[in-house]
Amino acid sequence: MTAETLPFADWLRLREPADAAARAEDLVDVVRPRLTGETPTLVHDLGSGTGSMSRWLAARLPGPQHWVLHDRDADLLARAAEGMAGVTAADGAPVTVSTRCGDLTRLTAADLADGALVTASALLDMLTAEEIERVVAACADAGRPTLFALSVTGRVRLTPADPLDAAIEAAFNDHQRRTVDGRRLLGPDAVAATAAAFARRGVPVRERPSPWLLGPEQADLTAEWLQGWLGAACEQRPDLAGPARAYAERRLADAAAGRLTVLVEHRDLLAGG
């Protein structure tokens, strides 16, 4: 089965409201008191994409802020910087932004040492074990709180249930763990690997659930997510392509009619907060 999917920047824009609703705000409450001191507060956002995390979190932190957005995609960075225009802090203080294009998995503690906080969203599951070790080492050695949001766990629940749900979920998760250009991605194993890497360095970690809860009001996002989920599963297991066609028709019809709800589990992680 193949599916027409949105360009990546449009996908990020479509999912932004669901991301905002899902992130664990109590972890922000934990880290906020740690950010008093130097003005403006400098935050490094890793894999910033179109800037969803920076827009969400800047408005929840007090005082003047400067965000440094890191990504390897210059076009996404330009969109992110543009999207930060007009964003202010929780108390109305100004928020400024700069961008750095490059491989964020090669950042060092020295690159992050000027920041008060390191953040990322929907990033960890796209990294390898070696890359996570490097990112964790840079954050831990810099001695800054690190907030990683919205990493997938691999668990999905669709209501009403369907006999094909479990096979598609398993195939999708295997796809998330695939090897790409010699890189074996961690996918749903990334949160546990990240927590363990911080623990080995003596950095305490808090975890919270941050699920997407998709109902009739998110029908467009549900349909786009579903097609991507099915497409990845069928790429991993081509034998599912035939059954998945009828499955997709049923599920998309249910989503369009407001009969389908989807829970997509994620985890948020705060290290050193």
Region 254-262 average pLDDT? 94
Residue owning tokens 């994620």: 266
Does 202 score more than 90 pLDDT?
Answer: yes
- The string of pLDDT tens digits covering residues 99-110 is 999 999 999 999
> Is 227 inside any structural domain?
yes
pLDDT for 34 equals 86
- The string of pLDDT tens digits covering residues 51-77 is 999 999 999 999 999 999 999 999 999
> Is 49 inside any structural domain?
yes
Average pLDDT, the chain: 95
Domain that holds residue 62: 8-271
Q: Is 181 exposed, middle or buried (0-12, 13-18, 19+ CB in 10 A)?
A: exposed
pTM: 0.94
> Is 165 inside any structural domain?
yes
Q: How many domains does the chain have?
A: 1
The per-residue b/e assignment along 18-32, b for 16 or more CB within 10 angstroms, e otherwise, is bbeebbbeebbeebb
On whether the CB atoms of residues 147 and 177 are closer than 8 A, the answer is no
> Is 2 inside any structural domain?
no
> Is 1 inside any structural domain?
no
> Is 224 inside any structural domain?
yes
> Is 149 inside any structural domain?
yes
Residues 6+ apart with CB under 8 A from 46: 70, 104, 107, 118, 119, 120, 123, 135
Find the CATH number of the domain harbouring 45: 3.40.50.150
Band of pLDDT at residue 36, cut at 50, 70 and 90? low
- The string of pLDDT tens digits covering residues 145-183 is 999 999 999 999 999 999 999 999 999 999 999 999 999
